[in-house]
């Protein structure tokens, strides 16, 4: 089963040192979505501080196979 690494970027890069074995890209997409949601839930201040949170998924060769990003547009009433 292929191994994928879920690296977090919020202005700084946090590599996933362990990786996760997943059977296919559907499972990778699901894990990426759930991981990003969990990061937003557990550390929302990081998102609000930087305005950006990105999850880059790499295969065991280091190639990026998927990237998911959430960005903030703080529109002030004027």
pTM: 0.85
Q: What is the pLDDT of residues 14-63, one digit of tens each?
A: 999 999 999 999 999 999 999 999 988 887 777 777 788 999 999 999 99
Query: Taking a C-beta distance cutoff of 8 angstroms, is the pair 6, 57 a contact?
Result: yes
The structural domains of the chain, with segments of one domain joined by +, span 3-71
Alpha carbon 29 to chain centroid, angstroms: 10
């Amino acid at each position: 089963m292929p191994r994928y690494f879920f690296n977090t970027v919020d202005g700084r890069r946090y590599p996933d040192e362990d990786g996760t074995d997943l059977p296919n890209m559907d499972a990778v997409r699901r894990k990426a979505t759930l991981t990003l949601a969990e990061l937003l839930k557990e550390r929302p201040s990081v998102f609000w501080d930087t305005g950006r949170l990105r999850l880059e998924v790499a295969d065991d060769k280091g190639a990026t196979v998927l990237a998911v990003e959430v960005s903030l547009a703080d529109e002030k009433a004027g």
